Amino acid sequence: MMIDKFCFALRHGRFNLASPFGFRPILRTLLVAALGFFGPGLSHGAGDSSTGAPATPKMQFPEGTATQSGLCGTCHKMMWREMYNGAGTDLEWRSMKVQSTSKALLNLPPSDSRSTTAHYVAGTDPWPIEAARLEERGRKCNVCHYPQAFEYPDILSAKIDPPKPRDLFQERGITCASCHLTPEGKIRGSYGVDAPHATVVDERIKTSAACAYCHSEGARVVGKQDQTFLEWRDDFNKPGLGHQHCQDCHMPRTVRKLAEDYPVPERVVARHTWTGGHSFARVASALNLAIAQTTEGQSELALHVINIGAGHSVPTGNNRRAIYLTAELVDAKGKVVANKDWMFAPWVLGRPDDKKYVEEDLKGEDPIATSQADAQGPHETIIRAGEDRMLDWSPRAPAGQYTVRATLTYDLNRYNDRAFKADQYEIGKASLPIKVTGPKKVS
């Protein structure tokens, strides 16, 4: 590896040790030997077109997107630590229960870090695997969890087709190569640097197009699951609510070397952390909660749930996610005299979840996935980018002093029991003292 680095530096003309002493051919031979470590895929490139220097062997990745991320991590050390271990984040994978009736608690296999990123465990996270077994009778449904190399879709396309699944080593999930390897076998990046592997510049890697394939499916349907990219494009970017692309929020940048042990300059680089539903800091930054008394002297209230932090709907993506808003009216003695709760969640299909469809669902193609969602409906739709969702509540209350208390709770899986807390976070709290003087109101 040292030789490899050294020779790489030579090719860049940063060290001036080469030809006069005939070092270069020797080093080149050693370099070929060093690269041999990477297996049979080694080939000889067509030469360095910029300098006219003789052909230099470039690393190849014969396993395609199944190439283990740890291989890339031998040179891109910090990226690897971030992706594998969530370095620098509050990511935490606690136990999961798939359904209310499930007995077993699902945990990541011991070989995976509990602070890993979702991308790293997309092929080993036991929950999607168990969900596929229960809901799809084992049918391999999650193409996005282990795709083949793809070209980016057009950022303006009306519909996002899912990527093609990879049959090989599905347990490796989403790898560095899943995002960086092009169908031609080159590594895409925004710089176009000279590297031990072939690189190709694609500026779109800094845009939401890089995430679209796996973070949206089909055409836009407001309220439905699997719409994150389309929500970002149509609700956030297009109206001008913000200029951020997915990376600006989910891959915060820093300045450092891309490959630590190489004589390369520091560059602006995005952290590979992708915090989402498994990060308290991330979900807690999404919403604001506020309470208002809409008529003085009466128990007429408005609860505001405002999407201030996400460039898409909240909760976004998977239909399993939910946010609960619970409100309580507490009297002067501390007794709860009224309460109510709401659930915000993505619909499983392109229409509102509703109990009235349950029987039909059970006879359909996806009986479990659709009926578990419909059995909980109707419910509030997801809160769109920039939206201030106002929920009216007029509890009955005799004249007196009260406190209104409201809480927002994020739930990774709305289909197990609400009493199961390992997959929940409290992400917002508000309270308001009110005085009720007027006649009783009927809610």
Site for ligand HEC in 287-326 (CB under 6 A): 309-312, 314-318, 320-321
C-alpha–C-alpha distance, residues 171 and 154, integer Å: 29
User: If DSSP codes are grouped into helix, strand and coil, which group holds residue 311?
Assistant: coil
Which residue type, as a one-letter code, is found at position 369? A
239-263: string of b/e by CB count within 10 Å (b at 16+)? eeeeeebbbbbbbeeeeebbbeebe
Instruction: Report the site for ligand HEC in 41-70 (rule: CB under 6 A).
Output: 61, 67, 69
- 31, 283, 291, 305: which one binds ligand HEC (CB under 6 A): 283
Instruction: Report the site for ligand HEC in 389-428 (rule: CB under 6 A).
Output: 412
Instruction: Report the site for ligand HEC in 180-239 (rule: CB under 6 A).
Output: 180, 187, 189-193, 195-197, 199, 205-206, 208, 210-211, 213-215, 217, 226, 228-229, 232
- 11, 58, 76, 384: which one binds ligand HEC (CB under 6 A): 76
Please state whether the peptide bond connecting residue 147 to the residue before it is cis, i.e. omega within 30 degrees of 0: no
Q: Which is nearer to ligand HEC, 224 or 250 (CB)?
A: 250
Instruction: Report the site for ligand HEC in 23-42 (rule: CB under 6 A).
Output: none
Instruction: Give the pairing of strands 388-393 and 57-58.
Output: unpaired
C-alpha–C-alpha distance, residues 203 and 208, integer Å: 11
C-alpha–C-alpha distance, residues 424 and 342, integer Å: 16
Q: Which is nearer to ligand HEC, 232 or 324 (CB)?
A: 232
Please state whether the peptide bond connecting residue 398 to the residue before it is cis, i.e. omega within 30 degrees of 0: no
CB of 439 to ligand HEC, least distance (A): 41
- 94, 220, 267, 418: which one binds ligand HEC (CB under 6 A): 267
C-alpha–C-alpha distance, residues 83 and 312, integer Å: 23
CB of 353 to ligand HEC, least distance (A): 16
- Around 262, how many Cα atoms within 13 Å sit in the side-chain half-sphere? 25
Q: Which of the ranges 18-26, 76-84, 337-345, 352-360 carries the binding residues for ligand HEC, by CB under 6 A? A: 76-84
Secondary structure in 3-state letters for 53-78 = ECCCEEECCCCHHHCCHHHHHCCCHH
Query: Read out DSSP for 256-269?
Result: E-SSTTSS---EEE
Output phi, psi for 4, to 5 deg.
-55, -50
Q: Which is nearer to ligand HEC, 174 or 303 (CB)?
A: 174
- 27, 149, 270, 408: which one binds ligand HEC (CB under 6 A): 270
Cα-Cα-Cα-Cα dihedral of 391, 397, 403, 408, to 10°? -30
- 87, 149, 286, 322: which one binds ligand HEC (CB under 6 A): 286
Q: Which is nearer to ligand HEC, 268 or 292 (CB)?
A: 268
CB of 262 to ligand HEC, least distance (A): 4
For residue 223, is it left (φ>0), alpha (ψ between -120 and 50) or beta? left
CB of 83 to ligand HEC, least distance (A): 4
Instruction: Report the site for ligand HEC in 114-173 (rule: CB under 6 A).
Output: 118-119, 121-122, 125, 127-128, 131-132, 135-136, 141-145, 147, 162
Q: Which is nearer to ligand HEC, 228 or 299 (CB)?
A: 228
Q: What CA–CA distances, in Å, run from 357 to 22, 100, 134?
A: 78, 20, 20
CB of 300 to ligand HEC, least distance (A): 30
CB of 124 to ligand HEC, least distance (A): 8
**Number of residues this chain uses to bind ligand HEC (CB under 6 A):** 97
C-alpha–C-alpha distance, residues 302 and 325, integer Å: 12
Q: Which is nearer to ligand HEC, 69 or 299 (CB)?
A: 69
Q: Which is nearer to ligand HEC, 277 or 395 (CB)?
A: 277
Q: Which of the ranges 16-24, 40-48, 270-278, 324-332 carries the binding residues for ligand HEC, by CB under 6 A? A: 270-278
- 247, 293, 298, 424: which one binds ligand HEC (CB under 6 A): 247
- 58, 278, 384, 389: which one binds ligand HEC (CB under 6 A): 278
- 24, 224, 272, 384: which one binds ligand HEC (CB under 6 A): 272
C-alpha–C-alpha distance, residues 190 and 202, integer Å: 5
Helix H or strand E segment including 228: helix 228-231
Q: Which is nearer to ligand HEC, 293 or 416 (CB)?
A: 416
- 99, 102, 157, 285: which one binds ligand HEC (CB under 6 A): 285
C-alpha–C-alpha distance, residues 128 and 191, integer Å: 35
